[in-house]
Amino acid sequence: MKSNYTKKSCQAFGAGVAVLASALLWTTPLIAGDYSFSGESNTILRMRTTINDKNLFPAYEYLRLNASDNRSDGTGLSFYLGAWGRGDLGDKSTSSSTDGDLQYAYLTYRAPKNNTAVSIGRQFISEGVATERIDGLYLRNDFLYGIGASAFVGHSVITEPNFPGGSIVYGARISQTDKKYYTVGLSALKSEYENSSRYREEEGLDLWIRPHQKVDLTGRSTYNSLTNGWMENNYALSYAPLSTLRFGADFSHINFKDYLASVTTSALSLINPVWKANEKQTAVGTSVAYSGFKNLNVTADYRFYSYDQSGDASYFGGKASYSFPENLTVGAGLHRMDGDTDRLRYVEFRAFASKKIGHADLTIDATNLNYDRNINGIRACYTFTGAAGYELNRKLKLGADMEYSKNPDFDNEVRGLLKATYTFDTTFAAEGGTKSEK
């Protein structure tokens, strides 16, 4: 079942916001006088042959546009737009030979005081329990005593659902911060079906505690009011006794019944026979990282997954990486997964290197997965990737990738990709460095 809203109304809404915002921004410079316009175009051609001998050559265009009114007092009106489109030059790569999407398109105003922000349009909301893309309105503000508040309301962006999802979604978060020591937040999210019946009701507590400069604790607990159960409790602690040594520990407990109750994808719903509906997972992990040698980082990690109804699994190993900024990056990692099924018993190895030589850069990346027993007649799986790029000038870069893989699903698969990246920036940001697109 496809959402009519997503396919039609949503795109019309996005286009409307884009037109309105563009009109505002093209007239704003006449008033403000300090204005920047930047963006990036990525043109990508992918190449592969499918298992049915179909030759796929989908060509993509990714476009990102940013326009900002940079007033010296920090006040600013900005517009951000991201979209992509695809056309198949060979056989159809999906059920349609063309497709595309408006990823985000919103107008935002930021005030010089109290981190006041107002955004309208298609945007990504990340506030406590809410990690949503909506077509709607977002507000935030800081108050006295470190209190901050945010709220949002809009229409959920749901694509290609197997089951109907919610229509309107709204939520809020209130937090209290002592910048040196902690942030505590309480948040809630509600979503309703088009007939106004309840779809999602989630509440949560989020913590970020830094009692000492060397200790950092983050985490979140989320409760599902519709199923009356905790969806997840997820906390991570790190302790860095030295600037070169860091210990980490994390804990998570997830109730599948409560967490998966409102998904619209059948693959992840409770009807999927891969996991039991009343399954509960507890994961405990620990890690130690050392960076005592110049530009060299070494990490060892261990994670234990425990299930109420399925068997347990352990994942452990280590990795090392060496990076010389803007010149050379090399790394390697070795991990063992030790679980109760054939697919969960393997050794994984990965090595990569990336080197910049003048205007060119070269990258190689290899992954090897060795199962304890054959899966579809295959025991050792490989993926080799090679990539090369060349910067013609500050604005234009060309690149080409080639990937070979052998795995239980594909015997010898070769894929290729060509890419042209064009960036443009009419002015540098008035208040400092330019922001990163990557």
Partner 1 sequence: MKNKIVSMSILLLMMSLLYACANTSSLPRTHPEDVGKAGMPDCTACHTDSWGAMNHRAPDFMAKHSNYAGSSRQVCSSCHQESFCADCHSHKEEIKPSDKFTDSPERNLPHRGDYLSQHKIDGRINPVSCVKCHGRQNNARCASCHR
- Considering beta carbons, is residue 376 or 393 the nearer one to partner 1? 376
Print the binding letters for residues 329-368 with partner 1: x by CB under 8 A, - otherwise. Answer: x-x-----x-x-x-xx-x---x-xxx------x-x-x-x-
Binding residues for partner 1, rule CB under 8 A, total 147
Residue 18 in the binding site for partner 1 (CB under 8 A): no
**Site map for partner 1, 103-122, x if CB under 8 A?**
xx-x---xxxxxxxx-----
Nearest to 46, CA basis, from 105, 109, 99, 90: 90
Candidates 8, 160, 309, 359; binder of partner 1 (CB under 8 A) is: 160
> Token pair of 430, please?
């008035």
CB 74 within 8 A of CB 110: yes
- CA dist 226 and 258 (Å) reads 8
203 is a contact residue toward partner 1 (CB under 8 A): no
For residue 428, the minimal CB distance to partner 1 (Å) is 9
Question: At which residue do the structure tokens 């950092």 appear?
Answer: 216
What gap in Å lies between CA 230 and CA 1, rounded to an integer?
A: 30
Residue 30 CB, shortest distance to partner 1, in Å, is 21
Choosing from 30, 180, 196, 228, the residue that interacts with partner 1 (CB under 8 A) is: 180
Shortest distance, CB of residue 91 to partner 1, whole angstroms? 15
Query: Is 323 one of the binding residues for partner 1 (CB under 8 A)?
Result: yes
Beta bridge partners of 222: 204, 232
Nearer Cβ to partner 1, position 20 or 263?
263
CA contacts within 13 A on the Cβ side of 328: 5
Closest approach of partner 1 to the CB of residue 195, in Å: 18
Name which of 403, 333, 390, 417 is nearest 62 in CA terms. Answer: 417
Query: Which residue in the set 67, 77, 120, 127 belongs to the binding site for partner 1 (CB under 8 A)?
Result: 127
Nearer to partner 1, 25 or 313 (CB): 313
Q: What is the dihedral of CA 117, 120, 122, 128, to 10 degrees?
A: 40
Rounded Cα gap, residues 388 and 113, in angstroms: 46
Of 327, 330, 322, 324, which Cα lies nearest the Cα of 298?
322
Minimum Å gap between C-beta 313 and partner 1 is 6
SS3 label, residue 18: helix
- Site for partner 1, residues 274 to 303, rule: CB under 8 A: 274-275, 281, 283, 287, 289, 291, 297, 299, 301
433 binds partner 1 (CB under 8 A): yes
Out of 170, 302, 410, 422, the only residue in the binding site for partner 1 (CB under 8 A) is 410
Among 347, 407, 420, 425, binds partner 1 (CB under 8 A): 407
Spatial contact of 329 and 322, defined as CB atoms under 8 Å apart = yes
256 contacts partner 1 (rule: CB under 8 A): yes
- Residue 314, Cβ density class (10 Å: 0-12 exposed, 13-18 middle, ≥19 buried): middle
Nearest distance, CB of residue 101 and partner 1, angstroms? 4
Which residues within the stretch 215-254 sit at the binding site for partner 1 (CB under 8 A)?
216, 218-220, 232, 236, 238, 243, 246, 248, 250, 254
Pick the closer one to partner 1 by CB: 20 or 186: 186
Q: Pick from 61, 91, 101, 372: which binds partner 1 (CB under 8 A)? A: 101
Residue where the block lists tokens 């190993």 = 317
Task: Report d(CA 425, CA 36) in Å as an integer.
Answer: 7
Nearer to partner 1, 225 or 297 (CB): 297
- Under rule CB under 8 A, residue 99 binds partner 1: yes
CA gyration radius, the chain: 24
Q: How far is residue 331 from each of residues 296, 318, 334, measured CA to CA in Å?
A: 9, 11, 11
Residue type, 319: K
Token pair of 436 as six digits: 């990163």
Told to check if 375 binds partner 1 by CB under 8 A, we report yes
Q: How far is the CB of 343 from partner 1 (least distance, A)?
A: 6
